[in-house]
Amino acid sequence: MVRSSSYSTVNTVICPIYSVSKWTSTYSEPLPSFGTWLIVYLLLER
């Protein structure tokens, strides 16, 4: 039960990050990975 709960949490975190990184890579080629890591850092800081 804990496993499926954490899995869905990972999905709700990873999916927006993935789409945001795809969007940023489309508009700012040099910095897609930086933006993604910044989002991950901000989410982990909570």
Residue 28 belongs to what domain range? 2-45
Summarised one tens digit per residue, pLDDT across range 8-42 is: 887 788 888 888 878 776 766 555 567 778 888 88
Q: Quote the pLDDT of residue 46.
A: 67
Structure tokens, 8:
């869905």
> Per-residue pLDDT for 2 more than 60?
no
Q: How far is 17 from 36, CA to CA, in rounded Å?
A: 7
Number of domain units in the chain: 1
Q: Please write down the long-range contacts of 12-20, taking CB distance under 8 Å and 24 or more positions apart.
A: 13/43, 17/43
Q: How far is 12 from 27, CA to CA, in rounded Å?
A: 23
Q: Quote the pLDDT of residue 16.
A: 84
